[in-house]
Chains A and B, each alone.
Chain A
Amino acid sequence: MRRVYLDHAAATPVRREVLEAMLPYFSERFGNPSAVYDLGSEIKEVLEEQRERVARLIGAQREEIVFTSSGAEANNLAIKGAALANLKKGRHLIVSAIEHHSVLNAARFLEKFHDFEVTFLPVAKDGLADPERLRKFMTPATTLVSIQHGSNEIGTIQNIRELAGLCREQGVLFHTDAVATVGQAPVDVQELQVDLLTLSGPALGAPKGVGGLYFRPKLRLVPQIHGGIQENGRRGGTENVPAIVGLGEAAALAREELAAKAGYLAGLRDLLVAGVQERVPQVVYTGHPRQRLPGHASFCVAGIEGEALLFMLSRQGIYANTGSACASKALKTSPVLGALGIAPDLAQGSVVFTFNTDNSEDDVNYVLNHLPPAVDRLRSFSPVWRKRTAAAAAG
């Protein structure tokens, strides 16, 4: 059976070039970068080269990057690390209502254990955060604002420069979680005027288990993993050298390919979106229709539940994602869809497709052939759909 993998926001295959670059660092070049002898010091040099490659992808300097175990850890370090380093100024944070759980829950941790006050900034129906609204929520005690660059759930790309510019003008730190964007669309920390930015390896074709945080020079961060003075004291623990080499290689490749990649992904996405809207009635395209991640298409399908749809699709070799409550371990509908004002029963029908360059137009056509009958089948015995169509028929 054909396999069409369209869940690249969840995991991507490690690229062959990346894997080959990593291999020597498992058994041959295994030294600890903190060791003083040559087996270690040359690995330290390799690490610094990777830092340079990652920095270049986002317009930063080598010394402004700290490697972490994941995007989630980088978000934790940004939120908790920066907030706890600025206690003297205040204990108020603002995070958007559509952040990744690693941002939302890091903020809630500060609320619960460090007496912080957290404001969850509402967003518009298209997912955009409004700078004027942000300004109104700021108080003299506000030390940090965190707003995701591109949403892995609804695809919306925020007007980060505007939001970050406002924060800089007000003397408030600004963090953006750019895990979904870096490698898909151009991201430049100078242009964006952000103080902190999170990126992650898997989004670039590097392995799971590696991420990075950009921080503006001289910005203070309280380490969240206490240990030795690795990463200039910002993160304890011996560096995951092979994975970091993978991240560096993936970042270098991403930089070369970025312009062509974004255009290609947007082409596939637009084909899918147009096809779904044409062939499946009563579907809502979630997030911003234009200002969005190039390889991201998200929908809410009325009258059905997302987990059931995913299983119907996977039986045809199509792999996608959903924000449905039934598919989450916590059995709660995605707070992101709720924040857009999408009704809970419609949010249950969430389905998300995320592309990569190994996808083709044939893949999109395959989905367009199999999605409508899968939806029809689930709707054929859905009491919600029956009520909906009966109400529509009654006018």
Chain B
Amino acid sequence: MYSDIVMDHFANPRNAGVIEDADGVGEVGNPVCGDMMTFYIKVKDNRLEDVKFQTFGCVAAIAVSSMVSEMAKGQNLEDAQKITNKSVAATLGGLPQNKMHCSNLGAEALALAIKSYQEKQRKTPSASAA
């Protein structure tokens, strides 16, 4: 049902956790319909210095979150924003068709985290870490 890459990321999720003083936070989904993901980012010099996630959901949702965090960490914000749900699924060696929509939300959660950081920057440019 799941690829070896998916099972590996599920069994050993990378970057699972919370950043208490995060520069940006993005949350997608809700536990009622299935999966819920929260991404935390730390930004330095326009780069994602740290990325962490928390996920409530199935094997696919956990693996997706882990993969997104790995793909994004160390990237500059522009490149990180180019990560799509589709590219995440491809990098995971594919996902079951019925998991493509509900569980493949990691890229959206990351994008929301970056957006929340950028909005914060616009409001308080003096606090910019860059």
A: residues with CB less than 8 A from B are 303-305, 307-308, 311, 315, 324-327, 329, 331, 344-345, 348, 380-386
Residue ID in chain A nearest B37 by CB atoms: A383
B: residues with CB less than 8 A from A are 7, 10-11, 13, 16-18, 27, 31-38, 53-62, 98-99, 102-103
Q: Which residues of A contact B35 (CB under 8 A)?
A: 305, 326
Besides the known contacts A308-B61, A381-B54, 8 further A-B residue pairs in the complex with CB atoms under 8 A apart: A308-B57, A325-B34, A326-B34, A382-B54, A383-B36, A383-B55, A384-B31, A385-B56
Known: A329-B98, A331-B102, A386-B18. A348 touches B10 (CB 8 A): no
> CA separation between A159 and B55, bound complex, in Å?
41
Output the least CB separation between A170 and chain B (Å).
39
Residue ID in chain A nearest B2 by CB atoms: A311
> CA separation between A348 and B10, bound complex, in Å?
18
Q: Which residues of A contact B37 (CB under 8 A)?
A: 383
Q: Are B31 and A308 in contact (CB under 8 A)?
A: no
Residue ID in chain B nearest A386 by CB atoms: B54
> CA separation between A303 and B57, bound complex, in Å?
9
Output the least CB separation between A216 and chain B (Å).
42
Output the least CB separation between A336 and chain B (Å).
17
Q: Are B53 and A381 in contact (CB under 8 A)?
A: yes
> CA separation between A381 and B36, bound complex, in Å?
11
With a 10 A CB-CB cut-off, give which of B7, B27, B34, B58 has the most chain A CB atoms.
Answer: B58
> CA separation between A315 and B17, bound complex, in Å?
22
> CA separation between A331 and B38, bound complex, in Å?
21
Can you pick out 29 interface pairs between chain A and chain B where the beta carbons lie within 8 Å of each other?
Answer: A305-B34, A305-B61, A307-B59, A308-B10, A308-B58, A308-B62, A311-B59, A325-B33, A326-B34, A326-B35, A326-B58, A326-B99, A326-B102, A327-B58, A329-B98, A344-B32, A345-B56, A348-B31, A348-B56, A380-B16, A381-B16, A381-B17, A381-B54, A381-B62, A383-B27, A383-B37, A383-B54, A384-B31, A384-B56
Residue ID in chain A nearest B54 by CB atoms: A383
> CA separation between A304 and B54, bound complex, in Å?
11
Closest 7 CB pairs of A and B: A345-B31, A326-B58, A381-B16, A307-B58, A383-B54, A384-B56, A344-B32
Q: Which residues of B contact A329 (CB under 8 A)?
A: 98
Q: Which residues of B contact A324 (CB under 8 A)?
A: 58
Known: A348-B31, A380-B16. A305 touches B56 (CB 8 A): yes
Known: A308-B58, A308-B62, A385-B56. A315 touches B11 (CB 8 A): yes
Q: Which residues of A contact B60 (CB under 8 A)?
A: 326
Residue ID in chain B nearest A381 by CB atoms: B16
Known: A308-B10, A331-B98, A345-B31. A384 touches B58 (CB 8 A): no
Output the least CB separation between A375 and chain B (Å).
13
Residue ID in chain A nearest B57 by CB atoms: A305
> CA separation between A115 and B34, bound complex, in Å?
34
Q: Which residues of B contact A380 (CB under 8 A)?
A: 16
Q: Which residues of B contact A326 (CB under 8 A)?
A: 34-35, 57-58, 60-61, 99, 102-103
Q: Which residues of A contact B16 (CB under 8 A)?
A: 380-381
Residue ID in chain A nearest B36 by CB atoms: A383
Q: Are A384 and B36 in contact (CB under 8 A)?
A: yes
With a 10 A CB-CB cut-off, give which of B38, B55, B57, B59 has the most chain A CB atoms.
Answer: B57
> CA separation between A345 and B57, bound complex, in Å?
10
> CA separation between A311 and B11, bound complex, in Å?
9
> CA separation between A307 and B54, bound complex, in Å?
17
Residue ID in chain B nearest A322 by CB atoms: B58
With a 10 A CB-CB cut-off, give which of A326, A344, A382 has the most chain B CB atoms.
Answer: A326
Q: Which residues of B contact A304 (CB under 8 A)?
A: 56
Q: Are B98 and A311 in contact (CB under 8 A)?
A: no
Q: Which residues of A contact B59 (CB under 8 A)?
A: 307-308, 311
> CA separation between A327 and B96, bound complex, in Å?
12
> CA separation between A344 and B32, bound complex, in Å?
5
Q: Which residues of B contact A386 (CB under 8 A)?
A: 18, 54
> CA separation between A308 and B56, bound complex, in Å?
9
Q: Which residues of B contact A308 (CB under 8 A)?
A: 10, 57-59, 61-62
